[in-house]
Structure formats: structure tokens, C-alpha cells
Structure 1
Amino acid sequence: MGTNIIPNGILLGRARVPGQTLPRVVTVRDGKLVDITAKGFATVRDIAESGKAAEHVRTAPGTELADIDAVLANSVAGKGGDDVPVLLSPIDLQAIKASGVTFVVSLLERVIEEQARGDKSRADALRSEILELIGTDLSQLVPGSEPAMKVKAALIGKGVWSQYLEVGIGPDAEIFTKSQPMSSVGYGAEVGLHPISSWNNPEPEVAVLVTSKGEIVGATLGNDVNLRDVEGRSALLLGKAKDNNASASLGPFIRLFDGEFTLETVKQAEIALHVEGTDGFVLEGASNMCQISRTPESLVAATIGEHHQYPDGLVLYLGTMFAPVKDRDGAGKGFTHKIGDTVSISTPSLGTLTNTVNLSTQCPPWTYGTSHLLRDLARADLL
């Protein structure tokens, strides 16, 4: 059953079913994709907010749709037929948020982007210079702590202080809106790069499912597609760098916490990345969640609380430590995506999320939004 793609556990997702416009809420049982859409539980949001998400998904009556292997094969961009369901992003009405600069490697690469002003040819020299200047193992610092503030003061004195160092070791986490509700893409879909970018990369991450009460109830994999040159030119271009058509992927399913799979499991996960290009280029790397500098709980608390409410809940990307620097087109040129790259993000507890890279202008346009979902739910008498 979807070897290394679909994990064991209580899985929650969405699928497009032939002949229906309404996305179906689904789970996996005994190698089959099962439709569990029901009145009162017709959206992933409804199930997450029920207070009994794992129990509901485990016991809900359902209708078998197809073998999960057939669904996975049919979900790959460009290969889908009309007779088998296709997996969608496993969330619907939730806000899509992300946290940045939560790993020291990512922190240093963001500083390099900023100093390079979006010019990837300067990255190698800047990397050596900045590491020499910092001269401290930032991974041992607790953000906002007294030792962290001393490092901050020392770096200001050396003239290398950065907005990325501020959110990396300062008291406040970077939390931003990655994309809009209903706009994320799922397993097998194309992920989009804005055409203006010539220096970009995948960001393999864990994303947690959070209720309107701030409770973390599950997790999935995500690709927080990043345009290094655009954000490097100015942090004020973060929206342009991060929120584009098909720039947020999630999946293949949300795995709900059930006693066996918990937030502690997530904290110990090692996230593997594999990129393979049509040019034969292969890039591999890993991001271990145990090296995150801010806990998932603290990142969620920085996102939702008395200062900001999310009545439909949210999904929060937790950040990545993986910033690829492997040369692709010659010495010193570093890594950037090419159209047709296949990106796979995996960990045993959450499975594998695979997407193919394209320009955001060439990916299927986002046309099914919240209003369409509500109308379809009303027509099906599921509201």
C-alpha cells in the first residue's frame, strides 16, 4: 500500500472524486481510500473542531472509493485519468501560516540571502565571511534568552546584525501568511515558482494542524516553496516570494494524534528531501526536528491566542533547516530549481509528499475557493 508514501495511523484528507465537484473528506483503511463525508463532518475543519477528530475518523461510516495505490498514481500531475479519485491538499477552511528562521542553518542562509541582495553568485564568499564573523554556535542559543541577547549585541558591534538574526535568536518568532485558505495543493500536484525568480528552492517542513482553541491535533508534510532572490532583495517582498499560485503544498494526509502518534513523535522526526531533475541532477538532504530552536508549541502560541484568533483553525509550517547549496550548473553557482524537478519530502511517521516543479503561471490556476465549497455543501445538504 503506497510503500513509504502512506504512513500507518489515523489519516485525514481530501479527494476529488470523478463526477463530483464537492471535494470529499477521506481516510485510508486496509489499502482503500474511504469517503467519510457526512453532515456535520463535511469538511476537514469540522472534524478538527469536533474535539474528537481521531476517534471520529477511526470509527466514521464510509464508502470505499478505490485502492490507495491507484489513487496515488492518478494524483501525479499530468497522469490523472477521469475514473479514479485524485488526492487534494488535506486541509480546506484553515488559514495557512508559516514560521521562518527556526533552524540555525536556515538562519545563516537567510542572512546570506539578505547580504547578497538576491545575487546567488555572491553566496559562497558571503557564507564564509559571515560564519567567520559570527564565530558562535547559534544552535545552542535559546531565542530571547540572556545569552542570545549578548550574541545579538556582539553581532551589532561587528556590523553584521540582520532582521533574520533578529527573528532567529531574538524574543519574537517570524510568523507569516503563507497562502490563502483553499489554495494549497496536495500530493502529486505541480508546485509553482514565480517567473521572475532565478534563485529558488524547496523547503521541506512539518506542518501542524491547529484548532481554533490553539490545540495541535495532527501533522502533515509541507513544501514551503521559497524564492531566495526575491526575499533576498527585501524582506518586504516576503509576500511576493511566498504566496503564489501553487506555492504551498501539503500532504499526502494529515495524521491525527491518537496516543501512539503524538507531538513528541513530530519533535523527533527527520525530514528527508530528494530532488531529481530532468537534467539528471540529484539533490538530497535532511532536516531533523530535534534541532529546531523554537518548539512547535511556542510557534503555535506566537500565531494564535488572545492577540489573534482563527475561528476555522490553521495549519502552521514549522520551518526548515535545509537550505540547499549544492552546485547545479557549475562551481559556485549553488542550487536553484529547474522546471520539471521532482521534489519528494518524507519521514516514516508522515509518509511522502511528492510534487513536480513548474512556473506558477503554468500550474493549474486556483479556481475553487471558499464560496464554491459552501455552495457545493449546500447543494449536497451537508451544511
Structure 2
Amino acid sequence: MHIVRYRRADDATPRVGVRTDGVVRSLPVASVAALLGARLADIQALTSEPGDVVDDARLLAPVDGATEVWAAGVTYLRSREARMEESSEADIYGRVYDAARPELFFKSAAWRVVVDGEPVAIRADSGLDVPEPELALVVNRFGEIAGYLVSNDMSSRSIEGENPLYLPQAKVYAGACALSAGIRPAWEVDGSDLPVAVRVTRDGVAVWTGTTSTARLKRPFADLVDYLFKADNFPAGAVLSTGTGLAPALDFTLREGDVVTITIDEVGELTNPVVVGREHFEFLRP
């Protein structure tokens, strides 16, 4: 089962439902943000009794309202190595990997998120760009992990590598955050050892592939969530992308026209074509 946002062909209003074996059924809740305002037990109870079948549902990004997307960095050894390879301040990444406090940063407002099938972007002023395949935690307002998503935390390695203080520009821009369409409930999946795979194709040929597992994540999920909630309130819940364990060598960069596919077993798949520039995302509106 996946919790989804959808829109019917004859109704412009986004709605919430559950999708099982390709069939979408409605839920009596106004938004995903409202759902994440509830306790985990209440979310589980509500989604266990869906309503009518929706025949013409178009799946939307799985976040809305005031829900924010955040991300963690340098949580896998491979990420530490990649950041140190690209950076003029390599020691910073070695220190944060071993520190008690994780690196956390804001990634996207809900309305800026793209979903499966929609484009992701590379910046026109960046020369080295990569996808970052990640498992994302869907957390309710009480800090309980309600589910999981596939995340692509698009990144400009050249901009961040030039100066770590440029990280917001390397990470936060139009088309930089993609999430899979359905939230896999946490009560159905053990997230501690999920295979993660990425494939980038160019003119139909795979030019970069990689695999890892969430078992290689250095920091427990609960630790990342605890730090996110230490000094802020999330009344509509939050999505927290847990960092990547996959990074290509420095001689690889994405190009316009590439297609990125990320798969996380038991969670879902996310496929997005690559474009350059913000003009491709004028369809996104708050």
C-alpha cells in the first residue's frame, strides 16, 4: 500500500487516497499535511479503511500545504569520500561525518517538489551535477516516522565544491527535489536494510549505475529526526531525506536529456528526465 495525492480528470482539487495493486481508493482527509498532523496510530487506522475506487486518478507529488522537505548530508562513507574529493575545504566533510550533530539543511517547500515522470534540473551555471538517490522519511508533527519515499536530492558538485557555504545554491533551486508518488507506510516496511539502486541513461544507454543499502547509513533514522525536531515545530509534518550512499566519480556529470531512475526495494521507483534551467518549472505553483 502507498498513501498518495491524486487529481481526477473532472476535478481540479487534489485529494488523498491509498493505492494498492494499482488501484486508488479515497480517504476522508483534506490533505497529506492534515494526515501528518495526526498520531501514527490514527494515520494507520484511517488508511486501513479506504473508501471508493478512483478510476481516473493522476498521481501528484506526495506533499502539500505547509509540509517541508529537509535533507541530511554526509551520512554514508561514500558521501563523505565524494564531498572530500570535490571540495576545496575537504576536512569539513570528514569532521561532520564523525560528529555527533548531523548536517541537516532545508531542501524544498511542498509546492516546489516534482514527482515521478516530471523533470529534474541542473543549473545553467554549474559544471558538475549529479543525482543523489536517497531514502526519505515521512515524519508526522509528533516526530513519529509514518512512512518512506524515494528521493532524488539533485546537487551541483561544482558549486558546493567551490565553497561549502554555497550549499544552498548547490541544493535548492527549481527542479532540485524529486519524490516518488506514494508514501510507503512505516508499519509495512523495515527501513533499516533496503537496497537502493540508481541508473542514468543517455540516448537509451546506461552511463552510470550504482547500488547500496540503507544498512550502510551511519546515523539511525531516529537520531536524524531528533535533531530536525530539536528546535523547530512541524505542524504539517516533514519529509527528511537521509543522505546518499551513491556518488559517481568526478569525471561524470549529468547532461540535458539524461534520464535518472532510482529504485528502493519495497518503497518505490522514481524516474525523471533531466533539463537545464528554471523556465521548465513554471508549471509549479504554491
TM-score bracket for this pair, using the shorter chain length: over 0.9
What residue number does 1:296 align with?
221
Q: How many aligned positions are there?
A: 283
Computing the radius of gyration over CA atoms, which structure comes out larger, 1 or 2? Answer: 1
The question of 1:177 aligning with 2:106 is answered yes
Q: Which secondary structure does the structure 2 equivalent of 1:301 belong to?
A: helix
What residue number does 1:90 align with?
62
The question of 1:55 aligning with 2:27 is answered no
Match of 1:267, as an amino acid? S
Q: Percent of pairs identical after alignment?
A: 28
8 Å CA contact 2:75, 2:219 repeated in 1? yes
1:249 maps to which of 172, 175, 178: 178
What residue number does 2:6 align with?
15
Match of 2:207, as an amino acid? V
Greater helix content: 1
8 Å CA contact 2:70, 2:108 repeated in 1? yes
Q: Which secondary structure does the structure 2 equivalent of 1:267 belong to?
A: helix
CA displacement at 1:35 relative to structure 2: 3.3
1:100 maps to which of 54, 66, 73: 73
What residue number does 2:167 align with?
238
The question of 1:270 aligning with 2:195 is answered yes
8 Å CA contact 1:183, 1:366 repeated in 2? no
CA displacement at 1:242 relative to structure 2: 0.7
What residue number does 1:280 align with?
205
Q: CA RMSD in A?
A: 1.8
* Mapped partners of 2:149, 2:206: distance in 1: 27
CA displacement at 1:277 relative to structure 2: 1.0
1:124-135 map, 5 Å: none
What residue number does 2:54 align with?
64
What residue number does 1:197 align with?
126
User: What are the ranges of 5 or more consecutive residues in structure 2 without an aligned counterpart?
Assistant: none
* Mapped partners of 1:280, 1:29: distance in 2: 32
Structure 1 residue runs of 4 or more that deviate by more than 3 Å after TM superposition: none
User: What are the ranges of 5 or more consecutive residues in structure 1 without an aligned counterpart?
Assistant: 1-9, 67-84, 116-159, 326-332, 370-383
CA displacement at 1:49 relative to structure 2: 2.3
CA displacement at 1:323 relative to structure 2: 0.7
The question of 1:310 aligning with 2:234 is answered yes
8 Å CA contact 2:128, 2:254 repeated in 1? yes
CA 1:30–1:351 in 2, change beyond 3 Å: closer, same or farther? closer
What residue number does 1:33 align with?
24
CA displacement at 1:200 relative to structure 2: 0.7
CA 1:279–1:234 in 2, change beyond 3 Å: closer, same or farther? farther
CA 1:198–1:281 in 2, change beyond 3 Å: closer, same or farther? farther
Normalising by structure 2, we get a TM-score of: 0.93
- Render the CA deviation track for 1:145-191: whole Å, top value 9, x for unaligned: xxxxxxxxxxxxxxx86211121112211000011232111111101
Q: Which secondary structure does the structure 2 equivalent of 1:358 belong to?
A: strand
Greater strand content: 2
8 Å CA contact 1:220, 1:251 repeated in 2? yes
CA displacement at 1:279 relative to structure 2: 6.8
CA 1:62–1:362 in 2, change beyond 3 Å: closer, same or farther? same
Match of 1:313, as an amino acid? G
Normalising by structure 1, we get a TM-score of: 0.70
CA displacement at 1:232 relative to structure 2: 0.6
